[in-house]
Structure 1
């Protein structure tokens, strides 16, 4: 038994029906680069999209796209804040809230805007960064207790006192293949010191920042171990979140990434695999310069492979064959047009990359309110109709 025994003791009470087991088989088969019964489909949905989707399709207030469409996998997010503490409210009125989080980040969330704004950072010098001592990655509060945390609480919505992560996992386990998740080092630094300081300090102090990155990497490797243990066998997969690129290129040199960031991604992926979990890496932007590295690490699928960053699933399949698992890449900007013929060509074109397996259908990032409920409904029906093996369209 692991250090957290309670969930493991309850696992036998969380029965899965034949449909859920079929979804799990579908995911594992696809990520083994074999052809399941049909192409798996899921996505990441903004709260603003879900509200529009309910309104557009005249659905009840509690309707959920994961359940409504019986999607094939879902990801969960524990408390990954370096410091376990409640939000410090600096300002709040009917239009916005400004808080300091467990990353020491000061965030402004305007309720009318889709995403929050980073205003300032508690850690504003490299000396302060080097002196930080993060809270225990094995602290039970991260996994078993409700509380504020930045990643779950401050995004396209604003939520205080997020529910206990383990309770979320247990609630989803009977119905979906459930993935845990962890951020990697650069994703932490973006929230901890901001992208400008991060890139500036890497350029000015590469060795000093390398030592910091290694400390952060060990912290999140330990968080991953603690999270997987806390789940007590209820996870089927693991997502590693980490943006290291923008539309045209990487934020720093591939060699620097390989020296300091890659080893920790590799360690997390290897640990998750040792526990029998599928591993999906989510990294935005044009990551083409290091795709071969992710393949060698053993990542089961890359996500989101943004079309807007000139990545194309069909071309990637031709280039890398079935060494690369693909999760995403359907152009959300085409979805936003609502043009059924354009959307049909986009969906069927990307489905052609699913020949031989190795493909999960999703958008090339996430589904926001620019996409209508009717459009997403149409996309799911297209994938379900034309994504059955053997593919023939």
Structure 2
């Protein structure tokens, strides 16, 4: 039984040959070296662009290149294969949109400010959340909307799938996308988001934008024969939810139902990552 068959058997409540394993985020240079691989720089190659004019334009150009995406996935998928895990992801969203000064991080397409940090002992890179770019609903509306048909998304999936086949299906490459809750509040920051959520019209607009995007990207991937899609969508901290349960029922769960229905109709399953 190969990795894809093993994971899908478990998802469908059937008995695989062994329990499949996956780690959603793995950043440790010491362990990477232990498995005989050279750690990558972990900065998406942004440091190579920091002194260039039009660096954001160049970044968007390179992000769309399947061969560049494939090179990154060859490293990440090979590490997971050597560890003995069954699954690794390709990304369908969360792409950088604006490089921060000195290439110390970026603002991603959801408006999240992300910065690179490094462990002192072995230089392991960690991508940390540093707040939201949107200071108001008006800031959000002026931001270029996410385009589910942007070619970097499907090229990313195809690159991951190509790596899977080259590794004889010993690793299952699964596309992953941001979803409704986590990316939404992080684009604003918790304080601004808390004000947005008190205004029904604004809250509905933001969540509907995210829901429509996620639904469409799931359809696109499923029609490209993705059998499983991961949704990143933390729902709270360890001490409670990000917002009232009633708001989840009002803004989040109806979209999740539509997304799952669309996936199932296309013989695809949804794996929801929902801390909290």
Question: Could you say whether these structures have the same fold, taking a TM-score greater than 0.5 normalized by the shorter chain as the test?
Answer: yes
Equivalent position to 1:214, from 201, 204, 208: 208
SS at 2:14 equivalent:
coil
Cα distance change of structure 1 residues 24 and 104 upon mapping to structure 2, 3 Å threshold: closer
1:110 and 2:121 are equivalent in the alignment: no
Q: 2:100 touches 2:106 (CA, 8 Å); kept in 1?
A: yes
Equivalent position to 1:199, from 188, 194, 216: 194
- Structure 1-normalised TM-score? 0.52
CA-CA distance at 1:195 after TM superposition: 2.7
Cα distance change of structure 1 residues 101 and 66 upon mapping to structure 2, 3 Å threshold: closer
Equivalent position to 1:279, from 265, 270, 275: 270
CA-CA distance at 1:32 after TM superposition: 2.8
Q: 2:90 touches 2:160 (CA, 8 Å); kept in 1?
A: yes
Equivalent position to 1:52, from 18, 30, 52: 30
Following TM superposition, the consecutive aligned residue runs of length 4 or more in structure 1 with deviations greater than 6 angstroms are none
1:250 and 2:236 are equivalent in the alignment: no
SS at 2:100 equivalent:
strand
CA separation in 1, counterparts of 2:32 and 2:105? 29
Equivalent position to 1:124, from 128, 132, 135: 135
Q: Which residue of 1 aligns with 2:253?
A: 262
Q: 1:105 touches 1:192 (CA, 8 Å); kept in 2?
A: yes
Structure with the greater alpha carbon radius of gyration: 1
CA separation in 2, counterparts of 1:241 and 1:101? 15
CA-CA distance at 1:199 after TM superposition: 2.6
1:189 and 2:184 are equivalent in the alignment: yes
Q: 2:229 touches 2:271 (CA, 8 Å); kept in 1?
A: yes
CA separation in 1, counterparts of 2:35 and 2:212? 47
Q: Which residue of 2 aligns with 1:74?
A: 88
CA separation in 1, counterparts of 2:37 and 2:94? 33
CA separation in 1, counterparts of 2:107 and 2:175? 25
1:26 and 2:18 are equivalent in the alignment: no
CA separation in 2, counterparts of 1:206 and 1:185? 16
Matches within 5 A, 1:1-393: 19-20=1-2, 23-48=3-28, 51-55=29-33, 57=34, 59-61=36-38, 64-81=78-95, 85=97, 87-92=98-103, 97-112=104-119, 114-119=126-131, 121=133, 123-130=134-141, 132-144=143-155, 164-173=156-165, 174-175=168-169, 176-202=171-197, 204-229=198-223, 232-233=224-225, 235-285=226-276
Q: Which residue of 2 aligns with 1:294?
A: none
Q: 1:236 touches 1:276 (CA, 8 Å); kept in 2?
A: yes
In structure 2, the gaps of 5 or more residues are: 40-74, 120-124
CA-CA distance at 1:243 after TM superposition: 0.8
CA separation in 1, counterparts of 2:143 and 2:113? 17
CA separation in 2, counterparts of 1:215 and 1:103? 11
CA-CA distance at 1:169 after TM superposition: 2.3
In structure 1, the gaps of 5 or more residues are: 1-18, 145-163, 286-393
- Structure 2-normalised TM-score? 0.72
SS at 2:241 equivalent:
coil
CA-CA distance at 1:73 after TM superposition: 2.3
Cα distance change of structure 1 residues 45 and 52 upon mapping to structure 2, 3 Å threshold: farther
Across the two proteins, how many residue pairs are aligned to each other?
231
- The structure in which a higher percent of residues are strand is 2
Q: 1:74 touches 1:177 (CA, 8 Å); kept in 2?
A: yes
CA-CA distance at 1:282 after TM superposition: 0.2
CA-CA distance at 1:134 after TM superposition: 0.7
Q: 2:222 touches 2:267 (CA, 8 Å); kept in 1?
A: no
CA-CA distance at 1:262 after TM superposition: 0.9
CA separation in 1, counterparts of 2:208 and 2:196? 15
Structure showing greater relative contact order (alpha-carbon pairs closer than 8 Å, 6 or more residues apart)? 1
